[in-house]
């Protein structure tokens, strides 16, 4: 049986007090709870402090380019649908550089979990605004405050009828772990937007700021009610609901490929007789 | 201009069915045992404008397009205006009598008496087929096969129009020199460059193709998508070219031999992914089908101006190979070769082609496809060391490749500099060794380089140097110059990177005159040869007006120099 220790313990390059630590713990808990062994899991990440997370546990890892994790994950999942594919990256990677891929992944409903570490600021490059920074957020390169409206990933995902949309708070570790488990179990694209403090560069959206606002969705909340989900996802400010906001039963993208009914593409031979017939079609 | 071949040019507006009769005629000619080279020229629009479909055919091997037209088939008036000057002295214009053009080489055909307007193209097909000496039954069968999904009524009507056209033409007092009789009907295939690339990839074991539509590469995707279920592959239209290459890298990482295809602009977007494939040591084949640039350029025309882009694409230093096929057969075999190298050296391998070649149909002998095994995948099922290290240092620079999920071994790949186990590192000693390890693979690639093809006189006064799709035009130009008593050799590159000086620099030094022939404005191959060998090729024949290099173009330029 798989245990937490199978996922290992590593030194990190994160700042003490970073929200990433609790996300990492919640992830390990969720993988163990799902009974997944390290070799069954493939993490894909981009670039940023959050994107380093897969280096700090035992699993298969593809740490690619900034913003491009979702396409890599899509290709990886299509070639081997038996893998549990999880994308972990920050708000800049997932919603800024990779914005088009975010929309396309939702449309495809590829069976991949996107766990976006959302601290509303760029950490690795030392404190510039991110797509999710609130309007007016002051940084060294936005001295007059951020002029663009904040991107709300949950609202966009719900509006697009994404398969599974959740928001979580990093320090509500058990709640987060439970959401991750549900997201992994979900067959289709699942988004978990995880709010987390950046202790070094975000002095506004601090641990205390999130803690006083984030509240778990009530037990009787119905995540299949799309209209209610839009309103819930849009809630921001004094009260921020966390939990599974929306889910539906769209078939996952992989089901549209008959070739995948026989499992992974790896190691399959070439049907040379068929190819010969195809060639003869050019006569 | 030669009388050994016949060059038929069909011209008209987009949407008039000229490609349809062009393809039927090409197939009929090939099935009758002749050789063909097709040149398609079209505008970036779906209806209207001026498009042309030229088929050069002959009993002997035809290897290049020709500018002079022997039979002009104008489906509209503009075609006559645009192509009249290209008509050879013995040439004919086959035109609707309603076109109202006086021309002493014009043959006015009463098309409208035979059938309604929509059969005009089939009527023209009949007249041309008779003139060049094709068998009516064979043309009819080819047509039926082409229209196999059409209703019986239309098929019958087509047949009737064809028959009328053959009968009418037979009654005309025309003395057009037909194609010489060849003894056998042939089982030759009619295939263009992109189709051969698609077929070669399938035969090599391609399992994943991702793309974003872009002329002139799109037809590779169209060809593969139509066969995806039968061949058990996935073809996915990505949201952009960046996604396309990253998807292919992801699929390759988990075990599917992968390829992407695009043109210059789309490839520019892919270049960060090229670097990613190199750093993560993930096999990928990349087809760049060139068209005139900068920026959007001339989307539907041809050029050879992206060699330097491909050669230098991707930030940082890493090995690569670039193939530039010169025949449809080479498209097939070099695509297979590209997959071999991608697997063996675990990185990006390129195929450079262009619009002319992508759309140029040729008659080719079938490949021995049953006897060709797929390319050996480079992954191992068990690790030679424990724990497994994806980037273990080796003498060749090639590390054992494992796939995630097919064993208990964990596979870690990183775009950051990494240690042998694949994890991010800032150990600068490891950094230096990793750079050397990656570059070491370049030595293996170099040892497998295809030498350029040298043909012609042993002691030439002039050597024509060329690469890629211009191969046939250069060979034919050289052969014509030889028949005028000149001593000419050709040196043609089907692999433009790496260049191995020892393979060819001697040929460049044993001649009085060197000429580089390229479809670009600055002489990119000449510059590369200069850089790699020190040999200066001062004289260049360059073409950058969007049209393919022809034997006539080369001869004109060489005479005027």
* Contacting residues of A for B239, CB less than 8 Å apart: 100-101, 103-104
The conformational region for residue B116 under phi > 0 = left, psi -120 to 50 = alpha, else beta, is: beta
User: Options 3.40.50.920, 3.30.1010.10, 3.40.50.300, 3.30.70.20; which CATH number does B453-560 get?
Assistant: 3.40.50.920
Q: What pLDDT is stored for residue B241 in this prediction?
A: 98
Euclidean distance between CA atoms B59 and B70, whole angstroms: 16
**What whole-number distance in Å separates Cα of residue A88 and Cα of residue A167?**
14
3-state DSSP call for residue B74? strand
| B247 close contact with A: CB closer than 8 A | yes
Q: Which of A40, A44, A65 sits opposite B405 (nearest CB)?
A: A40
B432 contacts chain A (CB < 8 A): no
- The pLDDT of residue B526 is 98
Q: How confident is the model at residue B470 (pLDDT cuts 50, 70, 90)?
A: very high
Q: What is the pLDDT of residues B51-62, one digit of tens each?
A: 999 999 999 999
List all residues of chain A from 101 to 120 with a beta carbon under 8 Å from chain B.
101, 103-104
What does the block give as tokens for B40?
């398609």
H or E element at residue B557: helix B551-560
B36 in contact with A, Cβ within 8 Å: no
- Mean pLDDT along residues B131-148: 93
Assign B561 a pLDDT band (cuts: 50, 70, 90): low
Q: What proportion of chain B, given as a percentage, has pLDDT over 90?
A: 87
Contacts 24+ apart (CB under 8 A), A267-273: A267/B255, A267/B377, A268/B207, A268/B232, A269/B374, A270/B202, A270/B203, A270/B205, A270/B231, A270/B374, A271/B230, A271/B231, A271/B232, A272/B203, A272/B369, A272/B370, A272/B372, A273/B370
Check CB contact of B424 with chain A, cutoff 8 Å.
Answer: yes
Nearest to A76 among B240, B253, B369 (CB): B253
| Alpha-helical segments (H) within B84-135 | 111-114, 120-132
A63 touches chain B (CB under 8 A): yes
Same CATH topology for B192-371 and B453-560: the answer is: yes
User: Looking at the complex, does the CB of residue B50 fall below 8 Å from at least one CB of chain A?
Assistant: no
Structure tokens at B56: 């050069």
Task: Quote the minimal CA–CA distance from A229 to chain B in Å.
Answer: 27
CA distance A183 to A34: 11
Other CB atoms closer than 10 Å to residue B100's CB: what's the count?
Answer: 9
The answer to whether A64 faces chain B, any CB pair under 8 Å, is: yes
Give the residue from A279, A24, A280 showing the smallest Cα distance to A176: A24
Class of domain A4-280: alpha beta
Chain A environment of B232 (Cβ under 8 Å): 259, 262, 265, 268, 271
Is B251 close to A78, i.e. CB distance below 8 A?
yes
Cis amide leading into B216 (omega within 30) = yes
Residue B64, chain A, CB below 8 Å: the answer is: no
| B window 82-111, beta carbon within 8 A of A | none
Which structure tokens are listed for B480? 């014509």
Task: Considering only the beta carbons, identify the residue of B203, B243, B406 that sits closest to A275.
Answer: B203
pLDDT at B185: 64
Nearest by CB to residue B233, choosing from A40, A259, A276, is A259
pLDDT reported for residue B150: 82
Chain A touched by B253 (CB under 8 Å): yes
When the pLDDT of each residue in chain B is averaged and rounded to a whole number, the result is 95
Distance, in Å, from the CA atom of A73 to the CA atom of A78, rounded to the nearest integer, reads: 8
List the one residue out of A125, A115, A126 whose CA is nearest residue A196: A115
- Counting as low any pLDDT under 70, the low residues of chain A are none
Please choose, from the candidates B498, B467, B496, B451, the residue with its C-alpha nearest in 3D space to the C-alpha of residue B318.
Answer: B498
Identify the DSSP state of A60. Answer: E
pLDDT in tens, B377-436: 889 988 878 899 999 999 999 999 999 999 999 999 999 999 999 999 999 999 999 999
Give the start-to-end residue ranges of the domains of chain B: 5-184, 192-371, 453-560
Convert the pLDDT of each residue in B503-514 to its tens digit.
999 999 989 999
Chain B residues touching residue A276 (CB < 8 angstroms): 369-370
Question: Of the candidates A42, A78, A270, which has its C-beta nearest B208's C-beta?
Answer: A78
Alpha helices in A44-111 (DSSP H): 69-79, 91, 99-108
Locate all alpha helices (DSSP H) within B1-91, ordered by sequence. Answer: 18-31, 77-83
The burial of A262, by beta-carbon neighbours within 10 Å (0-12 exposed, 13-18 middle, 19 or more buried), is given as exposed
Nearest residue of B to residue A61, measured between CA atoms:
B412
Q: B70: which 2 tokens?
A: 């022997």
The string of DSSP letters for B131-143 reads HHT--HHHHHHHH
Tens digit of pLDDT for each residue in B141-196?
999 999 888 888 888 999 999 999 999 999 999 889 999 988 766 789 999 999 99
> Which of A 224-283 lie inside 8 A of B, CB atoms?
257-260, 262, 264-276, 278-280, 282-283
Report which DSSP code applies to B32. Answer: T
Q: Does B367 touch chain A (CB under 8 A)?
A: yes
pLDDT given at position B46: 79
Q: In what order do the strands lie in the sheet with B462-467?
A: B453-456, B488-493, B462-467, B513-518, B539-542
Write the CATH number of the domain with boundaries B5-184.
Answer: 3.40.920.10
Whether chain B has a CB inside 8 Å of the CB on A12: the answer is no
For position B382, what pLDDT does the model report? Answer: 85
Segment A262-278, tens digit of pLDDT: 999 998 999 999 999 99
At residue B412, the pLDDT reads 98
- Kindly report, residue by residue over A112-150, the tens digit of the pLDDT: 999 999 999 998 899 999 999 999 999 999 999 999 999
Q: Are A158 and A229 in contact (CB under 8 A)?
A: yes
Q: Do B255 and A264 touch (CB under 8 A)?
A: yes
Confidence of residue B549 (pLDDT cuts 50, 70, 90): very high
- Reported residue count of chain A is 283
Q: Report the residue from B188, B252, B369 with minimal CB separation from A276.
A: B369
User: Which CATH class for the B192-371 domain?
Assistant: alpha beta
B266 pLDDT above the threshold of 70 = yes
Taking the C-alpha atoms of residue A139 and residue A132, their distance in angstroms, rounded to an integer, is 14
Which bin fits A67, alpha (ψ -120 to 50), beta or left (φ > 0)? left
pLDDT greater than 70 at residue B1: no
DSSP state letters, B440-461: HHHHHHHHTPPPPEEEE-SS-S
Question: Domain spans of chain A?
Answer: 4-280
Closest residue on chain B to A36 (Cα): B405
pLDDT tens for each residue of B72-82: 999 999 999 99
The CA-based dihedral angle spanning residues B359, B365, B371, B376, taken in that order and rounded to the nearest 10 degrees: -30
CB of B242 within 8 Å of any CB in chain A? yes
Q: Which residues of B touch A283 (CB under 8 A)?
A: 27, 31, 187-190, 366
User: Is the per-residue pLDDT at B542 higher than 90?
Assistant: yes
| Three-state SS annotation for B380-427 | CCCCCCCCCCCCCCCCCCCCCECCCCCCCCCCEEECCCECCCCCECCC
Q: Cα(A89)–Cα(B442) distance, rounded to whole angstroms?
A: 33
Alpha helices in B176-240 (DSSP H): 193-204, 218-225, 228-231
Name the helix (H) or strand (E) containing B9.
strand B5-14
Q: B370 CB contacts (<8 Å, ≥6 apart)?
A: A272, A273, A276
Q: What is the ipTM of this complex?
A: 0.98
Structure tokens at A244: 């599974």
Contact status, residue A265 vs residue A259, Cβ threshold 8 Å: yes
Q: Where are the alpha helices (DSSP H) in B281-411?
A: 307-312, 328-345, 355-358
């Amino acid at each position: 049986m798989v245990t937490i220790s199978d996922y290992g313990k590593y030194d990190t390059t994160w700042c003490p007090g970073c929200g990433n630590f609790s996300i990492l713990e919640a992830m390990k808990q969720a993988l163990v709870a799902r009974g997944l062994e390290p070799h069954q899991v493939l993490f894909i990440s981009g670039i940023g402090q959050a994107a380093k997370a897969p280096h700090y546990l035992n699993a298969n890892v593809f740490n690619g380019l900034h913003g491009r994790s979702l396409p890599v994950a899509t290709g990886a999942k299509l070639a081997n649908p038996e893998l549990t594919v999880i994308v972990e990256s920050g708000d800049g990677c997932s919603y800024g550089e990779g914005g088009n891929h975010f929309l396309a992944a939702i449309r495809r409903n590829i069976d991949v979990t996107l766990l976006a570490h959302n601290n509303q600021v760029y950490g690795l490059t030392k404190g510039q605004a991110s797509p999710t920074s609130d309007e007016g957020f002051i940084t060294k390169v936005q001295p007059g405050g951020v002029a663009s409206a904040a991107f709300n990933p949950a609202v966009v995902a719900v509006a697009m009828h994404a398969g599974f949309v959740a928001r979580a708070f990093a320090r509500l570790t058990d709640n987060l772990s439970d959401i991750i488990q549900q997201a992994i179990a979900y067959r289709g694209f699942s988004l978990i937007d995880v709010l987390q403090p950046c202790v070094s560069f975000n002095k506004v959206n601090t641990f205390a700021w999130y803690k006083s606002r984030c509240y778990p969705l009530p037990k009787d909340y119905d995540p299949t009610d799309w209209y209610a989900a839009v309103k819930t996802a849009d809630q921001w400010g004094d009260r921020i609901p966390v939990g599974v906001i929306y889910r539906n039963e769209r078939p996952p993208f992989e089901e549209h490929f008959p070739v995948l009914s026989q499992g992974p593409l790896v190691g399959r031979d070439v049907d040379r007789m068929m190819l010969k017939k195809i060639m003869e079609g050019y006569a | 201009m030669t009388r050994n071949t016949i060059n038929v040019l069909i011209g008209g507006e987009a949407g008039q069915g000229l490609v349809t009769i062009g393809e039927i005629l090409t197939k009929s000619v090939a099935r009758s045992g002749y050789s063909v080279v097709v040149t398609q020229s079209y505008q970036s629009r779906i209806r209207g404008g001026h498009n042309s479909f030229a088929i050069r055919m002959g009993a002997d091997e035809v290897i290049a397009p020709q500018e002079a037209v022997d039979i002009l088939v104008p489906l509209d008036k503009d075609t006559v205006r645009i192509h009249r000057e290209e008509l050879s002295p013995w040439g004919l214009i086959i035109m609707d009598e309603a076109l109202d053009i006086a021309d002493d080489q014009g043959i006015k055909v009463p098309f409208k008496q035979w059938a309604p307007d929509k059969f005009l193209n089939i009527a023209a097909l009949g007249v041309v087929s008779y003139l060049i000496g094709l068998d009516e039954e064979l043309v009819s069968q080819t047509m039926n096969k082409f229209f196999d999904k059409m209703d019986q009524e239309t098929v019958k009507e087509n047949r009737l129009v064809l028959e009328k056209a053959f009968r009418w033409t037979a009654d005309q007092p025309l003395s057009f020199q037909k194609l010489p009789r060849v003894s056998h009907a042939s089982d030759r295939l009619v295939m263009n460059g992109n189709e051969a690339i698609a077929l070669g990839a399938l035969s090599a074991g391609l399992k994943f193709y991702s793309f974003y539509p872009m002329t002139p590469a799109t037809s590779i995707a169209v060809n593969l998508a139509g066969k995806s279920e039968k061949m058990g592959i996935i073809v996915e239209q990505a949201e952009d070219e960046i996604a396309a290459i990253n998807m292919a890298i992801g699929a390759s990482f988990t075990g599917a031999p992968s390829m992407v295809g695009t043109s210059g602009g789309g490839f520019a977007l892919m270049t960060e992914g090229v670097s990613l494939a190199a750093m993560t040591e993930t096999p990928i084949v990349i087809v760049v089908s060139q068209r005139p640039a900068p920026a959007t350029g001339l989307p539907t025309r041809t050029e050879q101006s992206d060699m330097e882009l491909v050669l230098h694409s991707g930030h940082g230093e890493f090995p690569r190979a670039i193939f530039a096929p010169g025949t449809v057969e080479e498209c097939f075999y070099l695509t297979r070769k590209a997959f071999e190298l991608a697997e063996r050296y675990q990185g990006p391998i390129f195929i450079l082609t262009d619009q002319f070649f992508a759309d140029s149909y040729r008659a080719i002998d079938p490949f021995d496809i049953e006897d060709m095994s797929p390319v050996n995948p480079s992954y191992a099922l068990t690790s030679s060391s424990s724990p497994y290290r994806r980037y273990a240092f080796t003498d060749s620079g090639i590390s054992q490749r494992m796939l995630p999920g097919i064993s208990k071994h964990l596979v870690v790949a990183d775009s950051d500099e990494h240690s042998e186990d694949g994890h991010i590192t800032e150990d600068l000693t490891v950094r230096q060794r990793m750079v050397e390890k990656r570059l070491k693979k370049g030595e293996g690639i170099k040892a497998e380089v295809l030498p350029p093809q040298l043909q012609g006189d042993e002691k030439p006064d002039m050597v024509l140097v060329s690469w890629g799709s211009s191969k046939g035009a250069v060979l034919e130009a050289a052969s014509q110059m030889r028949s005028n008593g000149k001593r000419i050799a050709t040196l043609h590159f089907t692999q433009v990177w790496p260049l191995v000086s020892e393979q060819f620099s001697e040929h460049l030094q044993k001649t009085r005159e060197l000429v580089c022939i390229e479809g670009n404005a600055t002489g990119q191959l000449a510059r590369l040869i200069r850089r790699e060998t020190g040999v200066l090729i001062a004289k260049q024949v360059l073409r950058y007006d969007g049209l393919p290099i022809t034997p006539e173009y080369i001869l004109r330029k060489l005479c005027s120099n």
